[in-house]
Amino acid sequence: MTSTLEVGSGTLVAPWTDWARQTTSGRRLLEAGTYALTEGAIAAGCRVFAGYPITPATDIAEYMSKRLPQVGGYYVQCEDELAGMHACAGASLGGLKAMTATSGPGYTLMHDAYGWAVTNEIPLVVVDAMRVGPISGITGAPGQGEFYVARYCTHGGNFETIVLSPCSVQEAFWLTIDAFNLAERFRTPVTILTDQVVSDMWEDLFVPADSDALDFVVPRTSNLMMPFFPVGSADLDVAPNVIGRGTGVCVSAYTHTEEGYDIEEMEAQWAQTYRLVNKIRHHRAECTRYETLGLEDAEVIAVAYGANARTVKTGVVEARRRGVRAGFVRPITLWPFLDELYAADRHYVVCELNYDGQLVREVMRAAPDKAKVHFMGKSAELHTVAEVVAGLEGVIRTGRVPELPYIWTEVR
Amino acid sequence: MNKLAAKYLRPSQIPTKACHGCGIGMIENWLLQAIDELGLKQEDVIFGTGIGCVGRQTFATWGGDNFGATHGRALAVATGLKLAQPDKKYLIVVGDGDAASIGTSHLIHAARRNLGVTVICEDNMGYESTGGQFSPTTPAGYVTNSSPYGMAEPSFDPCDVVKAAGATFVAETTATQWHQTVKIVKKALGNDGFSFVHVRFPCNENFGAYALGTRDTLKNLEWIYEHTQGRKADGSESDFTWETGIKHDASNSRPEFSKIMRDVNARVQAEMAAKRG
Amino acid sequence: MPLFKADKKASRGPAGKWDVVLAEDMCKACGFCLAVCPVDVFAWRKVPNRLGWFAMYTAHEGNCVGCMLCYQICPDFCIDVSLKTALTTAGGSL
């Protein structure tokens, strides 16, 4: 006798389960993911968007150009993505919450700006609506090729990153507010990895009333005194620095002291790294978000995030119906990587929208037996329910994912 | 240290990292004079710098709020910062590499937008921080570490670029024109719009050594003077002369970028209020 | 003499009325102040400062005519030139 699962049962660990309960009145709309990302940002207090149009994030720029003047904010269409993210960093340093949105080819240009924001602990939100690559790839197809790039968003090492990924339009709305909150609390750029499907699809969206006064939004505060950079400390909730209030703060690209000026000493590098890495690692619980289904008795667990998590989850439910004890893990926080979700000694089938295998490598690293971690990579289209079921059944019955057209199973 | 340095600079960063014979410190002294003569306080002024000699040696010397952006991106950061803090005076102190090479795109667009900042482009005609390679402002034929057979590419003057892009104040001086520089910087700061002040200065360690064949500080300063005046001590003409002075002054003649943005907001919100009745 | 020294015609007041303070520990010995000074106020130290340079120092303050060229040309903020305080407080004239 096998257990059946309902779609909708399971665990969702995320602050918006509470937020949804708290906000009972508002508007119900049929809207796209880009709309939800925009409205979530505005609700979170975002007042500057500086970026460059790129499919499939262009709609965010357009919505922002319309909405920001309505709320006293500023839309800056920059000469390129590099300028866009630097301008966001400047605006955030001046005291305004800021966001930019792009896709892979623009994301690549933000590497430099990311480094500046990370090292100077500048709160920002960056949306990368991934599509198939490399480079321009297929403009109108979803991808998940920036999984590692989002973690290693800049050069030089010695930092941690926070990366989140929504799988629905409603979740995109709440998650954007969450991203802004985490950016403020951790004083860091937070990356939202969506994909072309989540960005462009239209779904039911609830936008709470009084969305400009939600009490769960972390407001912008300013640090007006030394230390500007509490190097050597992993404290959370340190107020962001501000330029323009006469504090004498120094903000630069170099390894820095507490005051912010450059210093070329090993001890300073240690102290700075201690802060940049541990402020996130020591407070992982504050940014842990995920969804699971049927893990209590699962023998094979499908892992996916973003748009294809939708079809994968349905595949899991369908597999259960056919007698496979399947479970589902959807990390919402991609980084810091939630190793604990893969602690059980089971088979894992990692379904991601790339052929080179990125998420699967992290699952292999985290799972107790990497021989039991299987890969179903696909590009340009979501995994179909049938493919997922065939993969899950195959792993249980034969120990491996069967040969399926256009499904890549090799990880090397 | 001199009184203005004591008033405005960060004591822990003085003496600066600049080499002996470098012109960056002189120019900063003149910037302080301009700031002081305008009656500005430390908290009224924000310094933005970049990477390279000018960026590195200037960064953190200012005692007030200041930032050192990634290479070439000081104006991109300033574009966002100005929106959030429109009432401050911005001195964006960058070198020829930062402004006229890697950052030229942002330079052009900041000029086009008439962003309310004053760019001090301190030009030592090469990438001196990395040892003395040529830059887009290196004079034709000069030998540098990466033009061992003489600078073959044509150079340009960033003043021409920003003027074409819409800058409302453009001027050029050199490191032997202190009074002019102070006066010009004061005027530049008085423009509520994009001001560009281009100051040529000597690099003793690299440009001097490889292009001019000497690390004699006086000879390298003299080279700047000769090319400012157009003649040498022996009466002969220099190989070229820089055109100094105010090249374009349309100060306060068109709206500044952050004001344009605020005006859009005001208009949109007035329309919204009118609709609500 | 260098062209810039020959050319500079800065305004000058009378000698003997000026304080010339040079922060020797910040000096990097570029020699500009000595080169530009029309009245030989400065000279080289024979012992290095803590930065390792043989710094300039004010050897003949009494020669100073207040032209301010040294103040303008010093790249390290070392020099201050001002009217002697006794003169300014007593309302003395130049």
- B 129-188 near A (Cβ less than 8 A): none
Question: Residue B87: what pLDDT?
Answer: 97
* Residue B139 near residue B200, CB atoms below 8 Å: no
Cβ contact, residue pair B178, C73, below 8 Å: yes
Cis peptide bond N-terminal to A134, omega within 30 = yes
Q: Is residue A142 part of a domain?
A: yes
Q: Please answer whether residues B90 and B117 qualify as being in contact, where contact means their C-beta atoms are separated by less than 8 angstroms.
A: yes
Q: What are phi and psi of A228, to 5 degrees?
A: -75, -35
pLDDT (tens digit, 0 to 9) for every residue of chain B, 277 residues total? 899 999 999 999 998 999 999 999 999 999 999 999 999 999 999 999 999 999 999 999 999 999 999 999 999 999 999 999 999 999 999 999 999 999 999 999 999 999 999 999 999 999 999 999 999 999 999 999 999 999 999 999 999 999 999 999 999 999 999 999 999 999 999 999 999 999 999 999 999 999 999 999 999 999 999 999 999 988 899 999 999 999 999 999 999 999 999 999 999 999 999 999 7
Bond preceding residue A208 cis, omega within 30 of 0? no
User: Does B200 contact A at CB distance below 8 Å?
Assistant: no
Distance from CA of A124 to the nearest CA of B (A): 12
For C46-76, the pLDDT digits (tens) are: 999 999 999 999 999 999 999 999 999 999 9
**Residues from chain B contacting residue A94 (CB–CB below 8 Å):** 80-85
| Residue of B45, B46, B83 to mutate, testing the A interface (most A Cβ within 10 Å of its Cβ) | B83
Q: Name the 3-class secondary structure at A388.
A: helix
- From chain C, pick out residues whose CB is under 8 angstroms from the CB of B217: 30-32
B3-276 classified as CATH 3.40.50.970: yes
Q: Are strands A124-132 and A189-195 parallel, antiparallel or unpaired?
A: parallel
Contacts of C75 in chain B (CB under 8 A): 18, 21-26, 29
Q: Which of residues 311-370 of A touch B (CB under 8 A)?
A: none
Element (H, E) at B259: helix B257-276
Tokens, residue A67: 């909405």
Which of A170, A190, A208 represents a domain boundary (last residue)? A208
Cα nearest neighbour of A261 on chain B: B60
Using the predicted structure, report yes or no on whether residue C91 has a pLDDT greater than 80.
Answer: no
Q: Which residues, in sequence order, are CB contacts of A351 under 8 Å at separation 6+?
A: A302, A303, A304, A308, A312, A376, A377, A378, A383, A388, A391
Report the alpha-carbon distance of residue B33 to residue B182 in Å, rounded: 7
pLDDT in tens, chain A (412 residues): 445 666 557 999 999 999 999 999 999 999 999 999 999 999 999 999 999 999 999 999 999 999 999 999 999 999 999 999 999 999 999 999 999 999 999 999 999 999 999 999 999 999 999 999 899 899 889 999 999 999 999 999 999 999 999 999 999 999 999 999 999 999 999 999 999 999 999 999 999 998 888 999 999 999 999 999 999 999 999 999 999 999 999 999 999 999 999 999 999 999 999 999 999 999 999 999 999 999 999 999 999 999 999 999 999 999 999 999 999 999 999 999 999 999 999 999 999 999 999 999 999 999 999 999 999 999 999 999 999 999 999 999 999 999 999 999 999 9
A175, A208, A241 — which closes off a domain?
A: A208
- What lies within 8 Å, CB to CB, of B60 at 6+ separation is A250, A252, A260, A261, A262, B10, B13, B66, B68
Residue A412 CB coordination number (10 Å): 4
Q: Which of C11, C27, C36, C72 to probe the B interface (max B CBs under 10 A)?
A: C72
Mutation site for C-interface testing, chosen from B33, B185, B218, B237 by largest number of C Cβ within 10 Å: B218
Burial of A342 (0-12, 13-18, 19+ CB in 10 A): buried
According to the model, what pLDDT value does residue A1 have?
A: 40
In chain A, the number of structural domains is: 2
Which of A72, A80, A96 has the CB atom closest to B84's CB atom?
Answer: A96
A79 neighbourhood in chain B, CB within 8 Å: 105-106, 108-109
Taking an 8 Å cut-off on Cβ atoms, the answer to whether B225 and C75 are in contact is no
ipTM of predicted assembly, 2 dp: 0.95
Does C92 score more than 60 pLDDT?
no
Torsion (CA) C3, C9, C14, C17 in degrees, nearest 10:
-70
Q: Please give the structure tokens belonging to residue A124.
A: 């920002």
Q: Is residue A25 part of a domain?
A: yes
Task: Provide the domain limits for residue A314.
Answer: 288-398
Write down the pLDDT at residue A340. 97
User: What residue spans define the domains of chain B?
Assistant: 3-276
Check whether residue A41 and residue A178 sit in a common domain.
yes
- A130 and A29 assigned to the same domain: yes
What radius of gyration do chain A's Cα atoms show?
Answer: 21
This prediction has a pTM of 0.95
State the Cα–Cα distance between residues A101 and A191, nearest whole angstrom. Answer: 10
CATH number at residue A373: 3.40.50.920
Give domain C19-83's CATH number out of 3.30.1490.190, 3.30.70.20, 3.40.50.300, 1.10.3720.10.
Answer: 3.30.70.20
